Amino acid sequence: MKRPLAYIAGTGRGLPAGVMTNHDFAALGIETTHDWIVERSGIHERRIARDGESTCSMAVEAARKAMDRASVTPGEVDAIILSTASPDRLLPSTAVDVQAALGATRAAAFDLSAACSGWLYGLTVAEGLLTAGSAETVVVIGSEKMSAILDWTDRSTCVLFGDGAGAAVVKRAKQHRGILSSFLRSDGTLADLLHRPHGGARTPLSEQVLRDRTHFVKMAGREVFKYAVRSMAEAADRALDGARLTGQDIDLLIPHQANVRIIEATAKHANIPIEKVFINVDRYGNTSSATIPIALDEAIESGRVHEGSTVLFVTFGAGFTWASMVVRF
Residue 73: left if φ>0, alpha if ψ -120 to 50, beta else—which one? beta
Q: Taking a C-beta distance cutoff of 8 angstroms, is the pair 80, 95 a contact?
A: yes
Q: CB-based contacts of 172: which residues, under 8 Å, 6+ apart?
A: 5, 6, 7, 130, 136
Q: Taking a C-beta distance cutoff of 8 angstroms, is the pair 122, 288 a contact?
A: no
Active-site pick, 22, 116, 198, 259: 116
Q: Does residue 286 have an active-site annotation? A: yes
Active-site pick, 22, 198, 215, 256: 256
β-sheet bridge partners, residue 315: 323
Q: Taking a C-beta distance cutoff of 8 angstroms, is the pair 157, 92 a contact?
A: no
Give dist(CA 67, CA 92) in Å, integer: 24
Give dist(CA 62, CA 114) in Å, integer: 19
Strand 6-14 to strand 79-83: parallel, antiparallel, or no bridges (unpaired)? unpaired
Strand 137-145 to strand 79-83: parallel, antiparallel, or no bridges (unpaired)? parallel
Q: Does residue 22 have an active-site annotation? A: no
Active-site pick, 22, 198, 215, 286: 286
Q: Does residue 259 have an active-site annotation? A: no
Which amino acids are annotated catalytic? 116, 256, 286
